[in-house]
Structure 1
């Protein structure tokens, strides 16, 4: 059989998701033909391009001309306004931004990275501006008004007007899939924000090929279809079957000719017996073999080093946390360490992998130790990141071994600094041991990231503040952290015990197939809006306190705080930590001094001129930091001389003709450098390599 495996957007733009390479390897091992398509990176590469964004800007102009302004949606009005003013600039720069994120030299320049990171986000904002009810980012998608039911999701998936995916899928990706002469298509959905894109793809694919069987798999629909309300909807209008749990056996049966209605572990519209509310026990995952990345477009991902994902085990060995959906499975299936090592060797030797991100929910300390031993014994040179629990066994001896074996980043579920709240969560963490673990990681050369959230039922504002206090007190040994808001998940154990925690759902109608977090209110505690506000407030104040204490950090959207100069995306952060070292920080002052008389280095202004102000100044946009500034006429005139061809001498000569003294011009240019308003263009590749890691300052002779 010829089966297609498809992964829809949105997801990480830096590497492929593992489900498709793992299933492809398994099915090919049985002699079946498998066509793999990562529509996530394909979609973003298509829409984040100059031709598409030029059309998006024109669409925004048309919306403004028609006066179709949603007065009540201030967020969208801001997106539209930004698209109208910055759209042409973003369209012109977007292809170069993607190229630089793939460039093995420029990628590691923190200033260029920050500029390109923001351009990618601003490009996504342009899509949100021309699809007013959609909000799309490089890693997520949501509707301005959140759908409350599967019926809402189906309605949105059938819409062409409000759906940014429909036209792109129909015109560019469905013809390719049809052309592969497939016998069936499997679509993997692992995040709730992929539901609308996945349903949209199924809808347009079924319209083009009505007889083509379409199967959904992945965690989201596996859980959703267990709810009886889902099977009474029109979901199966363009989906023929939904795989429960592990997809290996059902897909293999399908490939070997079994009718969909007769395959165990697949729910169809004809299924009479409701599926078990509990998932099947996890099977040994060794039969997946080594993930097969051969037909994935590795050069298209936005990362220069080969950053590859890998899974060493499914499920969570602990699986006791009340708030987490892993408590639904309560199972753990590790892969043999020997097979994990073979997979690493394959990724390094066949694909040139330099960094590996382990996707396991949690790798226990004994497995980490065994993995490190084999990596060291076989002298495999690769850096990697993983997820682990904060336990006493994560001591300095183990962390040192892990660092020697290439570990550069570990993500920990910290959650809270209140021991009372950790006990209520059933987290199993002793807060007293956490400082020693962080110190062991940092001293060994591993950057720890701490996940946390506020608003667990019963938590007070004072207890939430303890978490912020912890981050401030220990910021010197923390690589990054985030403060999220508690979410009540359908398949977390917490949901079944919601009443005992004083939680009440605030849905306006029955949860028709809800597989997401529930809106709720708390009797005698913080409500959901207060919790979300507190998470943002604490993140901002914690960041400010750390900066005041001398910490060198930066704040990103999503309540994410990380070391200055280290990217927020996980795989990019791993690449930076591997390249620059754990203690890297892009602190101003490590500067190359360029003196008048140097005729080799051109200077280029990097800003967008927006509009003249009443006081004679000019409003400009700085793409490096995303800020708006007012420039006085003489400074604007000076920066206009920095055209990318003039050297410093020529810029100063231009300034002199405008009556600006040389020392004043140098001072102004240094200020512009500090604000990232001008950049230096290296004249040759040797200079490119040298300048990529360094800032620049102009000085008087």
Structure 2
């Protein structure tokens, strides 16, 4: 270990921690800011650059989109040109900035004719993936480089590469960041040949099976660190050579792969240093920050979770919670997302005291009997608790017992009803496919969700994964006779055992699709309610909200798959026709305050173009866009999907739709 005095005496290199695309756009990623706090406390100059959010803002800025339109105007027909120009003029006016970026990304896709970048990753064509891991990475790097070049002209990139011998740490939490991180590493090396590029983060500590192959294939990478990165970066910053660091498992021409000891995590518990955060860049609508007390779940017994059980780090103390309160005051936070796997009810009481009255907060929780206390729930709600995210997993008690969850279905039912009544939003984590789960168990889960849909604000769905180190992983390895240390071979054998045929896998997928069908009308999926996004409606409150229309059009052949993919609620209506007897009408209910009236079947393809650009974004479709396209507008004065047909006037023109309740029949409502 290194003492503070040694570090201060020998330091001679600046450290720049870079968050590569694609990362969270709603709030900062926590890990680099914890690393910065550690390094700064040891006398090392360190700065953090979130290149991911900067790239999103660059690509979707009205100025850059307008330049792209101007360069391609000859290739756009009148409709597309008008649509894009109308959309660009509205990008800065959305109440929720994630919708502004979503709209910009859809415009970019519209202009390019293919997905370019999404919140989940780059639009890499399937054809670039091969059976060879390294070959696939190399091809994908070449594909994303044109997008990454947008970052080269930024002030942050210029500052980093102008520094003498900088250490550049690329913090990779998600697999989607690996390819752009490798592309960025190459650009850093090209611009600053004496820089030292270090790859690390949760991806290499938990998921990456082939770090040595990456090291050997990409010579822009000098060091890959698996495990805690604090002392590895500190060692490099004070002048140690990569080959001299502890834990070196592989070396190639002075470049190394290091597995740092896990117990290094015990050394440091300090507030994150958020001084480099550009808060307005993120999309949550305010100053929202992640925070962590513990890596390890205090329960630590669920068989499907490996947790972080390499050492016991004790329960969260009141002093640590007070440190959270100081962080919120120091950075004037509007909300805090506590990322711990689970927080006890007792600690939540301290959090409510520490953050009240200004900051809202969200935490993960185990549905334990303590949450049945209505006074506790009321205290948490008054103390800023915006949402509790419960590890529900299954509506079958038998499956919960197999998982060794230590929870009870009846208790879960009572907790979410009482929490919802207290004003706390409830998010449920749902899992399908746990070994031993039957169709009857899955039916019980669906039945539970349907029964409690009024109390479930949001949800996320996962399919069982055999996480190396977890109890069920080790149990299955022993049952199948495979070596648990050979993770790639072991997981392959486990999934072949769980899903021996395509039918078993399709069965799980069927139930995954059923959840939004059951909850879609009343609850939000994780795509609309994740990370700092959970606070957006509160932080954006009071701003002008743009509306989304009800789209009504006549079509002889309805493309149901398209409309259901883009909208939550679809009404199928039959209207008597002059010749065929009946005509099909699709009425898609969105905001229930405007309607787009189209003149017949010929309009369907144009509407699809409109929807593909704007349909996936909340509060994006506006009467401004519709009017710009020359369509008729009908303002709806009442809410309620069942009343929409009463408000359509009768048009004299035969090409327009005649929708009067007396001669229309709602055939079916599908969600």
Provide TM-score, normalisation by structure 2: 0.71
In structure 2, the CA distance between the partners of 1:439 and 1:265, relative to structure 1 (3 Å rule), is farther
Whole-Å Cα distance in 1 between the matches of residues 64 and 502 of structure 2?
A: 37
Q: Partner of 1:237: helix, strand, or coil?
A: coil
Write the mapping of 1:675-694 to structure 2, written as runs, cut at 5 A: none
For each residue in 1:261-280, what CA deviation from the matched residue of structure 2 results, as whole angstroms up to 9, or x when unmatched? 22335666269999779833
For each residue in 1:631-663, what CA deviation from the matched residue of structure 2 results, as whole angstroms up to 9, or x when unmatched? xxxxx999838799xxxxxxxxxxx9x9789xx
8 A Cα contact 1:5 1:185, kept in partner: yes
Write the mapping of 1:481-496 to structure 2, written as runs, cut at 5 A: 481-490=459-468, 492-496=470-474
Which residue does the alignment assign to 2:349? 369
In structure 2, the CA distance between the partners of 1:355 and 1:273, relative to structure 1 (3 Å rule), is closer
Write the mapping of 1:512-531 to structure 2, written as runs, cut at 5 A: 521-523=495-497, 526=499, 530=503
Whole-Å Cα distance in 2 between the matches of residues 239 and 58 of structure 1?
A: 38
Which residue does the alignment assign to 2:83? 89
Of 22, 40, 45, which residue of structure 2 is paired with 1:33?
Answer: 45
Which residue does the alignment assign to 1:695? none
What's the CA shift for 1:436? 1.8
Which residue does the alignment assign to 1:193? 176
In structure 2, the CA distance between the partners of 1:53 and 1:612, relative to structure 1 (3 Å rule), is farther
Which residue does the alignment assign to 2:439? 461
Write the mapping of 1:250-269 to structure 2, written as runs, cut at 5 A: 250-265=232-247, 269=251
Of 111, 119, 125, which residue of structure 1 is paired with 2:103?
Answer: 119
Which residue does the alignment assign to 1:389? 366
Q: Could you say what the CA RMSD is over the residues aligned between the two structures, in angstroms?
A: 4.9
8 A Cα contact 1:412 1:448, kept in partner: yes
What's the CA shift for 1:29? 2.3
Write the mapping of 1:643-658 to structure 2, written as runs, cut at 5 A: none
Which residue does the alignment assign to 1:211? 194
Q: Partner of 2:22: helix, strand, or coil?
A: coil
In structure 2, the CA distance between the partners of 1:95 and 1:45, relative to structure 1 (3 Å rule), is farther
8 A Cα contact 1:486 1:531, kept in partner: no
What's the CA shift for 1:422? 2.0
What's the CA shift for 1:446? 0.9
What's the CA shift for 1:406? 0.8
Which residue does the alignment assign to 2:231? 249
Which residue does the alignment assign to 1:422? 400
Structure 1 residue 640 corresponds to structure 2 residue 601? no
8 A Cα contact 2:321 2:354, kept in partner: no
Provide TM-score, normalisation by structure 1: 0.68
8 A Cα contact 1:283 1:333, kept in partner: no
8 A Cα contact 1:362 1:387, kept in partner: yes
What's the CA shift for 1:249? 2.1
What's the CA shift for 1:204? 2.1
What's the CA shift for 1:178? 0.6
In structure 2, the CA distance between the partners of 1:18 and 1:464, relative to structure 1 (3 Å rule), is same
Number of residue pairs the alignment of both structures matches: 572
Whole-Å Cα distance in 1 between the matches of residues 294 and 192 of structure 2?
A: 37
Of 487, 511, 515, which residue of structure 2 is paired with 1:538?
Answer: 511
Whole-Å Cα distance in 1 between the matches of residues 658 and 440 of structure 2?
A: 52
Of 412, 418, 425, which residue of structure 2 is paired with 1:440?
Answer: 418
Which residue does the alignment assign to 1:647? none
What's the CA shift for 1:236? 5.9
Structure 1 residue 568 corresponds to structure 2 residue 529? yes
Which residue does the alignment assign to 1:5? 17
Which residue does the alignment assign to 2:579? none
Which residue does the alignment assign to 2:304? 323
Write the mapping of 1:45-84 to structure 2, written as runs, cut at 5 A: 45-50=57-62, 52-53=64-65
Which residue does the alignment assign to 2:34? 22
Unaligned regions of 5+ residues in structure 2, if any? 1-12, 551-592, 618-625, 635-648, 665-671
8 A Cα contact 2:392 2:430, kept in partner: yes
Of 153, 160, 174, which residue of structure 1 is paired with 2:142?
Answer: 160
8 A Cα contact 2:227 2:261, kept in partner: no
Which residue does the alignment assign to 2:381? 403
Q: Partner of 1:305: helix, strand, or coil?
A: coil
What's the CA shift for 1:428? 2.7
Whole-Å Cα distance in 1 between the matches of residues 489 and 109 of structure 2?
A: 27
What's the CA shift for 1:160? 2.0
In structure 2, the CA distance between the partners of 1:399 and 1:23, relative to structure 1 (3 Å rule), is same
Which residue does the alignment assign to 2:621? none
Structure 1 residue 449 corresponds to structure 2 residue 431? no
Whole-Å Cα distance in 1 between the matches of residues 357 and 292 of structure 2?
A: 18
Which residue does the alignment assign to 1:631? none
